[in-house]
Amino acid sequence: MNMLQRFYLSVVVLFSVAGLFTGYGHIIMLKTSTTHFPLHKLAEPFQQLASLFKNQHDASYLTDKDIEIPAVIAQYQLAQYSLAPTILHLNQAQGPLVLIDASSKESAQQFLQKYQLTPLKISPTGLVLAVQSDQLPKP
């Protein structure tokens, strides 16, 4: 091997080693910068409401979010799972209890007015548990 070939070979080896270290550095950075969120925490807002659904066979789940988005339908499925055996009817005001998962407070208010609902509980995550106004106990 002549001197020029050795030079090119050493440059290629040097750049390969540098590329490996750079790639390895990126992998370490990604692994350490990812925040870990325990998946069981996702069901907490629904589990906090579970006792209120205990004797309910049917309830409603209203949302203005696009249910074609996997995360949105997953949220509904998580609610259904967490509140089982209560059957949640998606985007139908059916049953005395209605769970509203709206994209904003204004949207939740529109659901309350449209379906004549009275809010019972609002979770910190924005879920609204409401009851059909005609289902409220008479004083």
Give per-residue pLDDT as tens, 84-101: 999 999 998 877 899 999
Q: What separation in angstroms does the CA of 115 have from each of 4, 22, 81, 94, 128? A: 82, 58, 25, 10, 13
Q: Which of 42, 30, 83, 37 shows the shortest CA–CA distance to 60?
A: 83
Whether 94 and 60 have beta carbons less than 8 Å apart is answered as yes
pTM score of the predicted model: 0.67
pLDDT at residue 9 greater than cutoff 80: no
Q: How far apart are CA 73 and CA 53, in angstroms?
A: 20
- Those residues whose C-beta lies under 8 Å from the C-beta of residue 128, and which sit 6 or more positions away, are 99, 100, 102, 108, 111, 112, 119, 121, 122
Helix (H, G, I), strand (E, B) or coil at 15: helix
pLDDT at residue 137 greater than cutoff 60: no
Tell me, what's the pLDDT at 32? 63
What would the pLDDT profile of 11-27 be if each residue is shown by its tens digit?
777 767 666 667 666 66
Q: What is the DSSP string of 97-122?
A: EEEEE-SSHHHHHHHHHHTTEEEEEE
